[in-house]
Structure 1
Amino acid sequence: MNKLIERIKVAARKEKPDSASLGFGQYFTDYMFVMDYEEGRGWHDPRITPYEPFTIDPSASVFHYGQAVFEGLKAYRAEDGRVLMFRPDQNIKRLNKSCRRMSMPPLDEELALEALIQLVELEKNWIPREEGTSLYIRPFVIATEPSLGVRPSKKYKFMVVLTPVGSYYGDQLKPIRIYVEDEYVRAVSGGVGDVKTSGNYAASLQAQQKAEELGYDQVLWLDGVEKKYAEEVGSMNIFFIINGEAVTPALNGSILGGITRASVIELLKSWGMRVREERISIDDIYQAAKRGEVSEVFGTGTAAVISPVGALHIHGETIEFHNGLIGEVSERLYETITNIQRGKEQDSFRWVTEI
């Protein structure tokens, strides 16, 4: 154990929820991790404490100027009882990328990873065992200095909370319906679209509500300049199988570089499938779909892993893919990644960290 991380014991353990009614992000474990930052002192006092509310000044910078970044990853229970995390080092690296872009102090990546490991090890009894369930891990950093000056904060908190979760979309492999958003925009190159900052998600809510009112599950964002090129779907990256090749929007400075996205690209290439990362217009997707050349569409992300897309609403028309059913590539990707995550399949990529 890293003795630099203090532990404060909880007075009494909570009753764990029924795994059948977990939902997503509704219940939280007994403990959380906390570490503070102060200019001139750096990050200090790493500690695992009881999960509880904390006091923060009303003029804290996070409330007024939006310095807030976060990550999302999962821990899984293998059939033999082992506890496994999927690529946690990549989440810590991406968290630091977000911190730097938002003028926030980067974390010691080794200490941050050790904090995740110790917290999950302490709370491993919260990891559900049922198929499709996991322990979701939410690390985040917020600005806490009480100041109304428009400048980077001089104080921050790094925290990690845990929540046992079920499938993100309920019936995990039921294809979702996506509305192509051509009114609102999410991000532009040079902005903060390629980092995981809270304001990106707040800005997406209006379009998401619009899509739901129209009967769709998610939004496919187009580029913020020409409103022409496909970028990403809500909280996921997007892939199209066109004429037997996988096509996904290239990371251009306004798209979040997903860890599941990177894993999918590695897997597809290892299977001998050509993968093209490129700028692709929604008109080209529309025309290819009308010609019957788009056999599958799917999203990738930590929460849902692989989310098959059954229909896209483009140019006022709803186009179905694979007869509204999950496709072979989507299903194989889902099964392979989730099997690796749960220790059911050999991890030849060395993606899994055992606790």
Structure 2
Amino acid sequence: MTSLLNPSVASPLASPGHGDAFTRHLYSMRYSPERGWHDSSLRPMEQLSLHPATIGLHYGQVIFEGMKAFRQADGSTAVFRPWENARRFRRSAARLAMPELPEELYVEGVEQLVAADRGELSDHPDHSLYLRPLMVGTDVNLMLRPSEEYLFLTLAFVAGGFFGDEVRPVSVLICRTQSRAMPDGTGDVKCAANYAPSFVAQRQAQEAGCQQVVWLDSTERRWVEEMGGMNLFFVRGSGADAEVSTTPLTGTLLPGVTRDSLLRLAARCGYRVGERPVTVDEWRAGCASGEITEVFACGTAAVLTPVGTVRDGQDGDWTVGDGEMGPVTRRLRETLVDIQRGRAADPDGWLHRVP
């Protein structure tokens, strides 16, 4: 194996971007039917050596997760809701006929990696350690069947803002020609096969001058589902009477950890909270009448991102509110970030402190 030590991350980075400022260590563990989970180790970041006939490469037996560790106000480090990600990882494994990793082993790997590499995280208020657990089937066999042996990895990179250094509203393109997921498929689990088919639509969005694509249901292509790899929220009204709602989990949407967190925080902030389906026409008409005042997307990578403009090649474009971040979106974002960084109370015990 070839070492991938990166001198640029030996000390905190001023501007890490998102996705390539990898830290210096890697956590790994293997599975076999005879030995179960074994050979756990923390070692320097290095290349993998895989046979060309590795089952996971050919048949898509690959699942992953995404979560973040944050520098706390007291200087310690904490991971945001890793046990929830561990539970989702188990659900993804079960759906792809892979062995379910016990949650305590999942979190143990996260703890070891964060403890080893947290020194590469700066005190910048917008920086974090993005953690990527991964499992792949490793049998060397091209029979069309599930693998028997597996490799579990956890790696990390220092992350800045997903859409840049400033939180600015994004523009989105409604996709009416492709679908992200279908009923009874794998849309509600986090497997690698869900993502590559979305790249064409994402490229089309970028060519149209948009940062993200909005996915519709695969049956009627009129019900709003997700934005890129993020859950969407709609704000109706304003002030204390505002309603914050999101698309229900129908089996084709990923049950986001940030989504769940925001539903709870919105209720705690005194807003009316709901889960209800929204059509593209309702979204457009709601913005035109002023009923829908704000729209935002959420996910581990982007946290909360306001949606400013919507492009739709079928029925025309429109603006959400005044095109800027609204007060409800801003309040929810600040509330969530303050909890993640230890600047506010954590009544639900979402922060997992790393010794």
TM-score band w.r.t. shorter chain: over 0.9
After TM superposition, give the deviation of residue 253 of structure 1 in Å. Answer: 0.4
**Change in CA separation of 1:200 and 1:50 when aligned onto 2, cut-off 3 Å:** same
Cα offset, 1:321, TM superposition: 1.5
TM-score, normalised via structure 1 length: 0.94
- Establish whether residue 114 from structure 1 lines up as the match of residue 112 from structure 2: no
Query: Following the alignment from structure 1 to structure 2, what is the Cα–Cα distance between the partners of residues 12 and 208?
Result: 32
Among candidates 298, 301, 304, match of residue 302 of structure 2: 304
> Partner of 1:6 in structure 2?
none
Secondary structure in 2 aligned to 1:280? coil
Superimposed CA distance per residue, residues 169-201 of structure 1 (whole angstroms, 9 cap, x where no aligned partner) = 104420000111111111012000000011111
SS in 2 for 1:323: coil
Q: Would the aligned equivalents of 1:75 and 1:127 in 2 still touch at CA under 8 Å? A: no
Instruction: Please tell me whether residue 260 in structure 1 is matched to residue 297 in structure 2.
Output: no
1: CA distance, partners of 2:282 / 2:110: 43
Counterpart of 1:269, as a letter, is A
> Which residue in 2 is equivalent to 1:213?
207
Distance 2:330 2:82 in 1: 24
Equivalent residue number for residue 86 of structure 2: 92
Distance 1:335 1:142, change over 3 A: same
Shift of 1:12: 7.9
User: In the alignment, residue 311 of structure 2 is paired with which amino acid?
Assistant: H
Point out where structure 1 has 5 or more consecutive residues left out of the alignment. Answer: 1-9
Structure 1 partner of 2:349: 350
Identify the match of residue 224 of structure 2 among 230, 239, 258.
Answer: 230
Secondary structure in 2 matching 1:308: strand
Letter in 2 for 1:14: P
1:1-355 equivalences under 5 Å are: 14-16=7-9, 19-243=13-237, 244-314=242-312, 315-355=314-354
Shift of 1:327: 0.5
Q: CA deviation at 1:336?
A: 0.9
**Match of 1:46, SS?**
strand
Give the whole-Å Cα distance in 2 for the aligned partners of 1:171 and 1:46.
36
CA RMSD of aligned residues (A): 1.6
Percent identity over the alignment is: 38
Cα distance per residue 1:264-294 (max 9 Å; x no partner): 0001111221122122211211221221211
Q: Which runs of 5+ in 2 are unaligned?
A: none
Secondary structure of 2:7's counterpart equals coil
Q: Secondary structure at the match of 2:49?
A: coil
- Residue pair 1:172, 1:307 contacting (<8 A) in 2 also: no
Q: Which letter does structure 2 place at the counterpart of 1:124? A: R
Deviation at 1:247, TM superposition (A): 2.0
In structure 2, the CA distance between the partners of 1:350 and 1:19, relative to structure 1 (3 Å rule), is same
Rate the CA distance shift 1:226–1:39 in 2: closer, same or farther, 3 A.
same
Task: Give the aligned residue type for 2:272.
Answer: R
Q: Which moved more, 1:11-20 or 1:170-179?
A: 11-20
Separation (CA, whole Å) in 1 of partners of 2:165 and 2:113? 29
Q: CA deviation at 1:134?
A: 0.5
Contact in 1 for aligned 2:12/2:119 (Cα 8 Å)? no
Scaled by the length of structure 2, the TM-score of the pair is 0.94
Structure 1 residues 312 and 11: alpha-carbon distance in aligned structure 2, compared to 1, 3 A threshold? closer
Displaced runs of 4+ in structure 1, greater than 2 A? 10-21
Displacement after TM superposition at 1:297 (Å): 0.2
Counterpart of 2:117, as a letter, is E
Per the TM alignment, residue 20 of structure 1 is displaced from its structure 2 partner at its CA by 2.8
